Structure 1
Amino acid sequence: MSSPFTVRRTVESDWPEVRGLRLEMIADTPLAYLETLEHAERRSEAEWRTWARDGSSAESITVVAIDTADGRWLATMMSKVPQGASGAFLYGVYVTPSHRGDAAGVTDALLSRIEAWAAERGSTLTLEVNEQNPRARAAYAKRGFVETGVTRPYPLDPTLRELEMRKQLG
């Protein structure tokens, strides 16, 4: 039986879908993405093209899950290795509500692809998650991420905190 979705990296021509999914994810979970919906809506086509193209660069990866039946974009994750870091950073994680949970397999499929890419570049995968996003915190913990104790103010509301979580790879 074939998979109900495919996983692949983004390319520049994906920019309309990248934009659409980004707007969906910010509207769904405004605290998770360090950007307001209004800001994202004002981005130019050139910015979206660059964002989509960067998903297939040597320095970063953006993977998406696409419904094989109707072509709808279901999920995305991004990773890059910050300059001077010993491991990769995971960000921009989103799974559309209809495909969340273990049964759907979307999160695990994308995270496996990111982890394989990150393991070629270092020994850890690090992320930050808003303290008021318990669903995401639990999902990351279930997949082997642990809180490091490092926190920082959430840029869009400094009264909230971003919590660092890390997973050892390999």
Structure 2
Amino acid sequence: MTVLVRRPVEAEWEHWRDLRLRMLADTPEAFAETLATAQGHDEAEWRFRVRRTWQPGSFTVVGVEGATDRWVGTMGAFTDPAGGVVLVSVFVEPAHRGGVLADRLLAAVLAWARDVRGVGGITLHVHERNLRAQAFYRRRGFVDHGVRVPYVLDPTSEEIEMELRFAGV
């Protein structure tokens, strides 16, 4: 099955909404928003969220099945105020896990991040119980450097900060 990796556009806000709701239902601890909160957003909010991915310092790609036009994955990044790049909103539908989609999404994000002036790498936060995601990131060169932050939706649990340093920077 062919999956195209590309940037979303505002007119596709319903696809964006549907994917986000599936993300939150599938892996609630991977995100800083609850399914109930997301279900309450109106069209204006969903349109804003897609537009936001095109603002300077932001980048997002989606994986779209060519035959069905179904969005089956996403990954994004943004520059934080401290001048780094943060990987966010990582999701691949279960039927597409274990293949190449996650790698293709990550490759697109990393290509963008390497072009951000003065940035020597990319960081992410992954929930301590999301072992599958931690393993994926380690296989791609991300390193746990010991930083822990409280998970925003449940401060009794933690997120692990991982980083991938860019060669030659």
Band the TM-score falls in, shorter-chain normalisation: over 0.9
Check if 1:90 corresponds to 2:90: no
Tell me which of 84, 105, 110 is aligned to 2:105.
110
Q: Residue 160 of structure 2 aligns to a residue in which SS?
A: strand
Aligned partner of 2:18: which letter? G
Structure 2: stretches of 5+ with no match in the other structure: none
Structure 1: stretches of 5+ with no match in the other structure: none
Tell me how many residue pairs correspond in the alignment: 165
2:136 and 2:2 mapped to 1: Cα distance?
21
Tell me which of 153, 158, 165 is aligned to 2:162.
165
What's the CA shift for 1:58? 2.5
Aligned partner of 2:63: which letter? A
Check if 1:133 corresponds to 2:130: yes
1:115, 1:169 within 8 Å by CA — same for their partners in 2? no
Give the superposed CA RMSD.
1.1
Q: Which stretches of structure 1, 4 residues or longer, exceed 4 Å deviation after superposition?
A: none
Q: Residue 62 of structure 2 aligns to a residue in which SS?
A: strand
2:125 and 2:145 mapped to 1: Cα distance?
10
Q: Identity rate of aligned residues, in percent?
A: 44
Tell me which of 141, 148, 153 is aligned to 1:151.
148
- Which residue number in structure 2 is paired with residue 32 of structure 1? 30
- Which residue number in structure 1 is paired with residue 115 of structure 2? 120
Q: TM-score, normalised by structure 2?
A: 0.94
What's the CA shift for 1:56? 2.4
What's the CA shift for 1:53? 1.4
